[in-house]
Chains A and B, each alone.
Chain A
């Protein structure tokens, strides 16, 4: 992936975790800056203008969600949350508060790198870039609304396309149920999740090689869905 050295800011209080994060990011050509608490992190986010922030929830001074809120009050920089809690409601709250994605500890570096790249890609996508999103054998032309699978055009209903469109614009990133329901049915009725599940099944029938074992449109239990390129899937396993 060709790009100028991205600056990543690590806001994490555990020095040992910062150490391997630094090693992992530097191996991939990132420039790393570190902050060991929330207020230092906020200062660094202002002065160093990072391209990406990795934010731990459990900080000694501020809660991670507060740091996220403050960053979001003036910046759209991609933020990926590190958390030890596997509570789905908490994940959904953070995503709604503006986090781009989350990774639950303990995690492998490949998984974090995949999320980071997806977030950067979405953030730095320029208007001149090709409006075609590719996920393995699937390609979605956001401008012409043309979807092809293995170069063969496939027909989607309006709602199926809407779903795929939202996921494609967030490729590699998780999109919450609530956001999908709100965008597709233009209402935030919570019981529409049944319709969403059924819509996902239908879409999988059309785009997945084996709809019972989806590789492209994957479920994030209790949180939402993610469109991913199969290569990433392999890496995160």
Chain B
């Protein structure tokens, strides 16, 4: 190509030989040299300079059509031309290189800017991952793979791109994959180097970026590392922003459910209980009136009213408890208590609903004090007692036993009722679970046992249910820790 331009200039000069002075010839030859330098770089420019000198000598310096130079002055001219051509060619090609670098940099900045704009629009982690994928695959211009982090300190297989065996091995196996950062892995088959970098915020690891930086020199490696690190820094900032955003959103939701809970616990319980208080109170006054006392029929009616009110009140209490649990608001208020007091209170509070059964109570003598939230445990015992009464025939026995087993206080409530079949057993702890068998025959909300388990667990204990099967009765067992090292600040087991 350089050769072509030089020849073209030679032809033009040859045609116009008569009109221009020989002294201008070297200057004209500088044109192709500079063109070659700016277009194609230093080596074509050097070639153009040498060819120009040779052709000028051949065509224009006497003796014409010979490479010989007779005049020493002209020889010096030609050499001088060569030096000037080489120097200016070099300068021009360097200028070209600089321009090229600037353009590349501008492109990089533009890409980075695009990437930042995408990051600004990220509000979730999947958004962020897709932005990284986009940047790596389109912009970086090198094969790249992104491994998303998974719970348990491992990375998921890549969603896009393919990584060679060596990279996969390093990422999916091996010790502490989360610790990988700034490693370079060489793919043995292609000798390509893959750079590994983790994308993380201060608190969490998002994933791992693997970029193929080819077989390049340490310069290329350093440059690529810089670019990858730049974007990962921005990713980390965005991740933090998303974390904060999520925390704010969570707090907002918590506040909402808190408000809902407060509304229910305050307003609803007030609105529901005030009429109940009137009914219960009025019925109790009626019960005490000589007129009613003397009339068996009237008395039994009034008693029915009182019983139903007690039932309704229990149901409202269950709903209130469920709201407490659902809103995540159980923080046990621990104090030392006598477990006998708790069980006695639970039985007394539900005396009306247990009146149809024979309650047989047995406490062992070695019961220690326990540190629990008395209200929660009493409520849990009450729920289990109520279930025992509900799922067994009236007139049957409910036995309540309490004893000590190693460092635990065990309360067991055993009925002679409908029992639990093996396929019902695993569902018992679920909220709103009610067995098909009883849906139509025994009223209930499916909340009682669920609430009881959560209340007991909040105190560091647990409930077990066992049954020999259908019609064989069931036993609910509450286990509560009684050592003084039991939970001091809440619901850890």
Contact = CB atoms under 8 A, between A and B. Distances in A.
B217 interface: no
Contact of B344 (A16, A200, A219): A219
A221 B281 contact: no
Contacts of B158: none
A20 B281 contact: yes
Interface residues of A, number: 33
B335 interface: yes
A24 interface: yes
B285 A17 contact: no
Interface in A4-20: 14, 16-17, 19-20
Contacts of B277: 14, 17, 84, 105-107
Interface string B362-380: 0100000100001100100
Secondary structure type dominating chain A contacts: helix
A14 B278 contact: yes
B285 A23 contact: yes
A158 interface: no
A58 B270 contact: yes
B281 A197 contact: no
A156 B374 CA distance: 29
B340 interface: yes
Contact of A24 (B276, B285, B344): B285
B16 interface: no
Given A194-B369, A212-B363, A213-B361, A109 B274 contact: no
Contacts of A24: 281, 284-285, 288
Interface residues of B, number: 38
B7 to A, nearest CB: 103
A237 B350 CA distance: 10
Interface in A49-67: 58
A221 B369 CA distance: 14
Interface in B39-77: none
Interface of A: 14, 16-17, 19-21, 23-24, 27, 58, 84, 86, 88-89, 105-110, 193-194, 197-198, 200-201, 212-214, 219, 221-222, 237
12 contacts: A20-B284, A24-B281, A24-B288, A88-B374, A106-B273, A107-B281, A108-B281, A109-B288, A194-B369, A214-B344, A221-B374, A221-B378
Interface of B: 269-270, 273-282, 284-285, 287-289, 306, 309, 313, 333, 335-338, 340-342, 344-345, 348, 351, 361, 363, 369, 374-375, 378
Across the A-B interface, give the 9 residue pairs with the lowest CB-CB distance, nearest first: A106-B280, A108-B284, A105-B277, A106-B277, A219-B341, A109-B284, A20-B282, A16-B278, A24-B285
Given A212-B344, A222-B374, 18 more contacts: A14-B278, A17-B278, A20-B278, A20-B285, A27-B285, A84-B269, A84-B274, A88-B375, A106-B277, A107-B277, A107-B284, A109-B284, A109-B288, A110-B288, A201-B338, A219-B341, A219-B345, A221-B375
